[in-house]
Structure 1
């Protein structure tokens, strides 16, 4: 650092402390008394600092610089160079770990040692001793103020460096926080955008589902109506089957009655046959009587001629009766055959009617079961239709909620955009603050 760069400018202090050409001559005269024993002087100066510093190599380098600075000071007290060299020596001592009190102790040791050397050299020349003691006092005061100014400047420089470090650390931490926050905000914005897109995609899906649910509800209601119509048709068919079963029952009853009538007719025919048998027997006996009468009439001759005619007529009637009886027997046989066929047909009809009744009962029971099943299906379809309606309403509510969520997500994304802008502003403000803090 040059004199123009030094924070402690000697020229500002020359007049204040009375540092003039006369003082410069006195300082050179003082050094002439000190120079022969300067090693002892520097040992006294070094003692307070070496007690606090363990770096021997650093102490040796510092000792060389201190020797040069002190020699320059006594050689030309009005030169800025020794002030800057003292400043550098103090900074180096502090860097080695010497406390500030040790530095002032070294300055005090120098003043005492030089004063003792002057007293020893000119003890007999009182006027000279007083003049040089006065010069030492001025030098000590000026040097103490310069040391204090250097310490203050050093402290300010250290404070500035500390503030710079702290500001840099603060700025780095703030920038890191801002960057992380901005990164997180951007990620959240991206996630919000994805969520908004997904929500809007879900809106389309829910619209499709709502439409499908509505169509399903309509189809279910139509199915319920169809099932209701099917129940009515099954009920009508069951009624028709019951009517048919009633007709079959009546037909069975009538067939039973017909069987009974046919059986009665057969009994009557058998009775007629027995009567015909009796008539045949009577006709045969009449024919035999007529034959006997004819024989007796022939025996009687003319007296029996009339009786023979009657016998002949009786025989003729008996023959006609026999033929009529045979004819009736033939017809009765036909009647018996027809009656037998009628009985068999009636039995078959009755059996068929019974089968029809059994089938009708089975059909009626099956239709009743089908009606119950269709009723259950109808109830299930109704419940499904209600569920579809409810689902449609729920989906509509979900769609509304999804729209609200999508809008809120858009607001969140917008808010995080504002946060990004605020973080950018905060980052710039933090940078300015750190610059001002470190200045």
Structure 2
């Protein structure tokens, strides 16, 4: 046997054990068959005993309800009888069929006959009880009441008519009637012969008294009532006789005939049960004895089989376990990484030897795999390093190229913002200066009007002087007096001319200042570029008007100088008049000539003053245009500043996005993020901002799980994140908008619904297992979340900020 291979040894050993087990199994099957037969017999007798006991109990229950029904006609008792009757009728034949013992079978057959006879008797009881109750209720009660009413009427009418003897005789009859009815009721409760006799005697006495009363009465009505009572009493006696006969028949049937049948039924049931108990005891004894014999034989065979199995198992196991233990030790060393261990049992010809040879090949392959794995790991590390280096190089290149663009855009936005601020400041300053120029021009216009008025006065004075010179020849005798007056007037004229010179100096200063402002406006318009072209044209016109004003004032100045010289000469001439009256004519001629020249000069002055007034008015009008252009330039500068600020913010956002992209490229898989928080995304509401940051963190955490290879965990996490986090956040956000009166709440709520609808579409795609659905879900959630916060929630933040500033 031990020259066999391992499978042969095992099969042979187990074959012997199986053969022993088959012998034991055969013996057990025979024993169990015998035991089963004995138990089946025992169970059959036991079940039948239960049937007999059930029959006995049911029959006793029927007997009890029969007595109740006989006594009180209780419908519930009748219902119980009719309910139990079919059960006994069904079980009794089954008990007879299941019985094999002749004696017990005969007893059960007799019980079946007794039950049939008993139920037939009960049918008679029911009929008799029905007849009896109909006689009592429909005959005796009706007749008794009729007789009582007739006698009562006789008593009352006779008493009313004064026939006291008839009334007393009717009272005696009434007493016997009532006694008869009372004894009849007692008989129904206890049907004894004494109550029967008393009832019959009372009825006979009532009939006799009724006959005597009938003979004595003379009143037709009372006589008729007496005859009626007599007839009712006789009929009552006949009905009672029938009730008594039915009652005695019922008593005999229920308490004698049926009682005997019930007693015999119970006795037979007891005998049958007792016999069944004896049969079960004997069957139990026989079964236990057979099982003890079978148990002893089974134990003997089991011990022999167990000993032989243990011996064979030890021998077979020893021939297998010893080389296997050595093999296991070698495999354990090999699993620990000891590739130099010697593999035992390679020279065996059985399965263990084949396994040892296979293990040797496995060891050699392991050495080769270790070498190959080391080479692959080194190659993988080199590839990973190359990939990271390439990604870092790509990121550096991207950062260098895009970073310059972002920096350039940022610098340009900053410079544009500064230039727009400078332009706005210059525009405001120009507007202020233009306002000042307009005010000064208005003042100059007023002064020129004053000069014009003074010039008109001067012209009038010179005209008056001309008249006086013409009359000087006539009024020579008044020459000194007039000369003195003329001297005073000429001196006043000299003072007025001096004031005109001051006004001309002021006009000249205003023209110079206007020229300077026009020059500054031209410079600022050049800085403003295309937006300042119109402003430059207006400034040039102002400059031309200022130059014209300067020229006009120069001419006025020269004319005033000439006037001043003329007035000086006039003063000297008038002084000479006082001394040399004789030379009046010549001097008058000179004065007339001077006066004519003075008249022409004053006319020129008046014209120049009018031109100066028109120029200053035009300067005022043009300065208003300059001021309007300066305001428009200021508004344009403010718009440029706002655009520059927005461009700066977008450049910063671009810089953050580039930084996030580079971080993603350079980071390890576990540190990769699909969303990066930026303080520019803050709305100003702490609870909303906290939720936004938490949503960013959760999306990034699940994205990291996906990038680490835990795709199922990541997808399930993002699918559960929307109903548990996004939806409550949407509700809180909408409540905030409603409380703060945000005008765009309907549009914002629509964005939320659009997201949820799109999310359900992505969810169905993921659940359907479509290619790329998981990545698309993450990309959709991240992109929507960031864009929604940046644009839609940014509108809410701006609205809340404006509302706070207004408050």
TM-score, normalised to structure 1, is 0.42
